[in-house]
């Protein structure tokens, strides 16, 4: 068959359409979005509809670019004020926690492999490599479940988990690269490997911070004629930070996350439109990456490694992850056991371990394909068990509560800049509310509470005090004080309302 560009575009569009439909169904039942994307990729692959895709270098390229965008977007969305109270815990989990996870799991794999795979003879370094590839967690799948099921977390759990998930990928990547180099050289020169590891970490941190600051200055000074180019400029800086750090011999993944963190907390022009652009771009990157990885695996190749993968996967969930979390968080005695247990449960494997598992394949290590198949199987297991059970465990531990979704607007999409601290709501008028109040001035609103806009049918307008109100009008209300806003509901006898905090 002669593959044309039209066929490729048709194939990709069908993949995206099926994935988005599956996402809708998955969100309803609490299934991780990542698991569905991988499933769609596997469905269209060699053992499914027969599309053959064995280009590991191309998959690595797609994964690298996608991961760069996802980490940069994650940094942009992370606020200093949210992570500051939990920064020490998050950083320790993202560094020491990853190291402990890799060592504990690697030791377990070494002894288990000798029993289940006696003909393979995995060395201790290869066992550590397999464990290091899987030592980071996946934030995208965690919070897609939480947001899709309308669940909120208590005790600053969400920012701590976001910080850990967003910043632990560089540590896993550096461990993976270091172990591949040690296996390839066969010299066991751990001293130089550790030195290179530390240099990459230091250079990556410094480059991410410095280039993020420089990008902030350029974006605010460049004064582009077309406002639509600012999101593209921000995207360009994200790619530049990643690639420039690589040539500085630093860790690009760490740099791009820190660079996004710096830019996301700085005052830059057209920031809100740029952040919305990146939100969509990050989703596209995730879909492309997950589908590519799903196409790469043959389900029949997973069956021979099913038993050892189940054994390793369950050990990681109930053994290695909790042990690494509890050891890492020993200095934080105020943190309760149930909080540590929940952090332990949110140790999901995701697309990142699969991307890292491609690195041994590209390096053509002896047991690279075995490592890839085991990682893929454990990723599916982790998402299926930990992903679907995340909200259940959170509620059981008393750390997750159902959201009333009051921050979802139906008729107004107005948003304020981050510097403006305010509270908004929308109210739908009815005959009961307007029984003795025909004009806006008759509503008797509390002080510092204003009606800034009215929607009538499909028309929006700014009201005056003598504006006559009608049933089915929608009011957009803003106030500096949420107590006054709640008083408004009380005076109008309204119980169904939505609040949005800016």
Residue 501 has pLDDT above 60, yes or no: no
Q: Which has more pLDDT, 232 or 445?
A: 232
Q: Which has more pLDDT, 37 or 327?
A: 327
CB 282 within 8 A of CB 66: no
The C-alpha angle with vertex 426 and arms to 424 and 428, in degrees rounded to 5, equals 165
Whole-prediction pTM: 0.77
Instruction: Provide the total of helices (H) and of strands (E) in the chain, helices listed first.
Output: 21, 7
Nearest Cα neighbor of 378 from 101, 50, 183 is 101
Q: How far apart are the first and last CA of the chain?
A: 55
The C-alpha angle with vertex 199 and arms to 196 and 203, in degrees rounded to 5, equals 140
In this predicted structure, what is the pLDDT of residue 340? 93
220 vs 183: CA distance, rounded Å: 47
CB 137 within 8 A of CB 383: no
Q: What is the pLDDT of residues 238-254, one digit of tens each?
A: 999 999 999 998 888 88
Q: What is the pLDDT of residues 173-212, one digit of tens each?
A: 889 988 998 888 766 566 777 787 788 889 999 999 999 9
Would you tell me how many other CB atoms lie within 10 Å of the CB of residue 403?
14
pLDDT band with cut points at 50, 70 and 90 for residue 18: confident
Q: What is the pLDDT of residues 122-169, one digit of tens each?
A: 889 999 999 999 998 876 666 566 555 556 777 778 788 878 887 788
In this predicted structure, what is the pLDDT of residue 150? 54
pLDDT band with cut points at 50, 70 and 90 for residue 350: confident
70 vs 95: CA distance, rounded Å: 20
Mean predicted lDDT score pLDDT of the chain: 82
The residue whose two tokens read 């402990």 is: 100
Torsion region of 172: left, alpha or beta (phi above 0 gives left; psi -120 to 50 gives alpha): alpha
In this predicted structure, what is the pLDDT of residue 405? 46
Among 102-116, 135-149, 444-458, 478-492, name the most confident range.
102-116
Tell me the three state secondary structure of residue 457: coil
Residue 217 has pLDDT above 50, yes or no: yes
Q: Parallel, antiparallel, or unpaired: how do β-strands 449-456 and 474-479 relate? A: antiparallel
Q: Tell me how far CA of residue 258 lies from CA of 68, 89, 143, 270, 435, in angstroms.
A: 12, 17, 20, 20, 56
Which H helix or E strand runs over 239? Answer: helix 229-247
């Amino acid at each position: 068959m002669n593959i044309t560009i039209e066929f490729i575009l048709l194939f990709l569009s069908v993949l995206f359409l099926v994935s988005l439909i599956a996402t809708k169904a998955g969100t309803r039942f609490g299934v991780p979005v990542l698991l569905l994307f991988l499933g769609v990729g596997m469905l269209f692959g060699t053992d499914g509809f027969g599309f053959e895709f064995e280009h590991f270098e191309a998959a690595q390229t797609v994964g690298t670019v996608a991961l760069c965008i996802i980490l940069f977007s994650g940094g942009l969305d992370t606020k200093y004020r949210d992570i500051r109270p939990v920064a020490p815990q998050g950083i320790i989990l993202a560094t020491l926690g990853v190291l402990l996870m890799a060592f504990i799991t690697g030791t377990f794999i070494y002894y288990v492999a000798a029993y289940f795979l006696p003909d393979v003879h995995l060395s201790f370094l290869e066992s550590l490599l397999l464990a290091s590839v899987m030592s980071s967690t996946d934030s995208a799948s965690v919070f897609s479940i939480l947001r899709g099921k309308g669940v909120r977390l208590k005790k600053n759990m969400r920012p701590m988990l976001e910080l850990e998930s967003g910043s632990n990928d560089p540590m896993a990547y550096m461990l993976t690269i270091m172990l591949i180099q040690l296996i390839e050289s066969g010299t066991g020169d751990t001293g130089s490997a550790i030195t290179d590891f530390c240099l990459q970490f230091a250079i990556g941190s410094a480059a991410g911070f410095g280039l993020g600051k420089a990008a902030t200055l350029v974006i605010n000074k460049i004064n582009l004629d077309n406002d639509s180019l600012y999101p593209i400029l921000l995207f360009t800086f994200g790619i530049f930070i990643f690639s420039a750090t690589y040539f500085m011999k630093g860790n690009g993944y760490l740099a791009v996350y820190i660079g996004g963190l710096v830019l996301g907390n700085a005052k830059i022009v057209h920031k809100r439109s740029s952040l919305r652009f990146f939100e969509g771009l990050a989703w596209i990157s995730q879909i492309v990456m997950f589908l590519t990885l799903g196409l790469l695996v043959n389900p029949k190749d997973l069956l021979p490694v099913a038993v050892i993968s189940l054994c390793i996967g369950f050990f990681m969930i109930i053994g290695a992850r909790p042990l690494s979390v509890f050891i890492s968080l020993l200095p934080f005695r105020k943190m309760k056991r149930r909080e540590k247990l929940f952090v332990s449960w949110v140790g999901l494997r995701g697309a990142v371990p699969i991307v890292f598992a491609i690195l041994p394949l590209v390096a053509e290590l002896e047991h690279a394909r075995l490592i890839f198949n085991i990682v893929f199987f454990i990723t599916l297991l982790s998402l299926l068990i930990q992903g679907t059970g995340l909200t259940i465990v959170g509620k059981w531990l008393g750390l997750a509560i159902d959201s009333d979704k009051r921050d979802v607007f139906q008729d107004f999409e107005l948003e304020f800049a981050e510097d403006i601290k305010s509270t908004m709501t929308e109210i739908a008028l009815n005959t009961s509310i307007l029984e003795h109040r025909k004009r806006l001035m008759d509503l008797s609103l509390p002080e510092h509470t204003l009606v800034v806009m009215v929607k009538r049918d499909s028309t929006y307008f700014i009201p005056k005090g003598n504006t006559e109100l009608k049933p089915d009008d929608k009011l957009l209300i803003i106030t500096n004080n949420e107590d006054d806003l709640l008083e408004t509901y009380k005076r109008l006898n309204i119980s169904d309302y939505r609040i949005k905090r800016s």
